[in-house]
Amino acid sequence: MHDIVKDYYGRQLASSEDLKTSACCDPTQLPAWLKPLLARIHPEVLSRYYGCGLVSPALLDGCRVLDLGCGSGRDVYALAQLVGERGEVVGVDMTEEQLEVATRHREHHREAFGYARDNVRFLHGYIERLNELGLEAGSFDVIVSNCVVNLSPDKEAVLDGVSRLLKPGGEFYFSDVYADRRVPAEVRNDPVLYGECLGGALYWNDFLRLAHRSGFADPRLVEDRPLEVTDPALAAKVGNVCFYSATYRLFKLDGLESACEDYGQAVIYRGTIPGHESRFVLDKHHGIEAGRVFPVCGNTWRMLGETRFAPHFDFVGNFERHYGLFEGCGATIPFGRTSADDDPDCGCC
């Protein structure tokens, strides 16, 4: 599988235009804050972007970030501006042609960002074998990945490596492709469908099980959108399987429980996160308005209280008394429902 994927991204695709599905983000849908960041990125890097979501969580200034499967570096260079000169972004990819483009433009970006020192690094390697890259355990605040984990033949090894490299309270914030069912063998074994990020996509509930096994007890869905297979011959092969691009955040926190439990707690957002002054979106079900008392389960409390977000919240309550399962914790397919932006009062999980 590694060779098929290297060939696809190293030799067959020359630019995002060559993709045969709508997995890649539509540039017209980009948020306003991202546009000035992308405007400083070299056109050759932009033209070889194959991501399927936005991997820029809030509050990155000064953070150390790792990008798994960074390709030609679009997200690395966008994140390099968000972490600032005090931070660092490390990109890992196995395809030499992709890394060549990324590394060739390092100096261009240092100058474009006005930095005295280069704050990015690119490593050639496999995301299943992060332990071979000389990266220190527990040394990253945030790990991102954009449309890559589906391509890995050993997704559990990827999540285990992520867990090892994250600091306590750090998070894996990543976009990937998921299916509404287990992908049949004829789709999985088709080299083009695999290269297009569909063949290797996990059934969403298998992903949740895998995440739990790697110690990420409560994966949070941030956003999702259905994907279209635009090529008619490929669409016929895919049949009734529905694919989604989805962004999840997985916090490395020891105390998280496998369900959202109610301890009668609440948080109040101080409105102090730059760029998110009126509302902080933790995930698809938690759009937290500044100044408002917002009831939360124990897991959400920890995601806000034991991470880099803690100084931006006031916390009401504790873990002394348990009131049962937090209302609204669901177990059906999580994709395609309203977002936190459409439903401001929703505090469920």
Ligand X SMILES: C[S@@+](CC[C@H](N)C(=O)[O-])C[C@H]1O[C@@H](n2cnc3c(N)ncnc32)[C@H](O)[C@@H]1O
Binding site for ligand X (CB under 6 A): 2, 5, 9, 49-51, 69-71, 74-75, 93-95, 98, 126-128, 146-148, 151-152, 197
Pair of tokens at residue 221: 């869905």
Q: Say if CB 336 and CB 280 are below 8 A apart.
A: no
| Cβ closest to ligand X, residue 142 vs residue 303 | 142
User: Could you tell me the smallest distance in angstroms from the CB atom of residue 140 to ligand X?
Assistant: 16
Strands 220-226 and 243-251, bridge-based pairing: antiparallel
Which DSSP string corresponds to 36-52? HHHHTS-HHHHHT----
∠ CA 51-55-60, nearest 5°, is 150
Minimum distance, C-beta of residue 292 to ligand X, in the bound complex (Å)? 35
Minimum distance between the CB of residue 48 and ligand X, rounded to whole angstroms? 7
Gap between the Cα atoms of 103 and 112, Å rounded: 15
Shortest separation between residue 261's beta carbon and ligand X, angstroms: 35
How far, in Å, CA of 46 to CA of 78, rounded? 10
Of 227, 302, 289, the residue nearest 263 (C-alpha) = 302
DSSP string, 164-198: HHEEEEEEEEEEEEEESSPPPHHHHT-HHHHHTTS
Closer to ligand X by Cβ: residue 194 or 313:
194
Nearer to ligand X, 59 or 130 (CB): 130
Check: CB of residue 127 under 8 Å from CB of residue 90: no
92, 66 in Cβ contact below 8 A?
A: yes
Min. distance of Cβ 125 from ligand X in angstroms? 7
Residue 268 CB, nearest approach to ligand X (Å): 36
CB of 331 to ligand X, least distance (A): 30
Single-letter amino acid code for the residue at 37? L
Between 207 and 294, CB nearer to ligand X:
207
**Residue 120 or 296 with smaller CB distance to ligand X:** 120
